[in-house]
């Protein structure tokens, strides 16, 4: 089937640039990514990911991590696994 339809959307410029860089690293064009998204929506009869409003606790943790608060840092992966041992 030939590609003859056009999709237009307004996107924040910084978001567009960052996402297009990720597409480039994946070897995809924006058109490829949109086609994949549309095909997944058709296949699943809905969005191919969960869309939900985070709980109050989840939003608090997300906000704190964005601000660099209450983070646990490790020297390396082994150190991280040791800290998880009970």
User: pTM of the predicted model, to two decimals?
Assistant: 0.62
- 46 and 66 part of one domain: no
- The answer to the question of residue 74 being in a domain is yes
Structurally, the chain folds into a number of domains equal to 2
Residues 58 and 35 in one domain: no
Owning domain of residue 65:
52-86
CB neighbours (10 Å) of residue 75?
A: 7
The Cα 26–Cα 33 span in angstroms is 10
- Whether residue 2 is predicted with pLDDT greater than 90 in this model: the reply is no
Domain shared by 70 and 39, yes or no = no
DSSP 8-state code for residue 49:
S
* 2 in any annotated domain: no
| Within-domain flag for 19 | yes
On whether both 25 and 42 belong to a single domain, the answer is yes
Return mean pLDDT, the chain: 93
């Amino acid at each position: 089937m030939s590609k003859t339809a056009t999709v237009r959307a307004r996107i924040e410029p910084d978001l567009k640039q960052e996402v297009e860089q990720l597409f480039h690293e994946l070897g995809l064009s924006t058109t490829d990514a949109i086609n994949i998204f549309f095909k997944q929506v058709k296949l699943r009869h809905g969005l191919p990911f969960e869309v939900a409003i985070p709980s109050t606790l989840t939003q608090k943790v997300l906000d704190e991590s964005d601000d660099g608060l209450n983070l646990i840092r490790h020297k390396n992966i082994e150190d991280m696994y040791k800290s998880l041992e009970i």
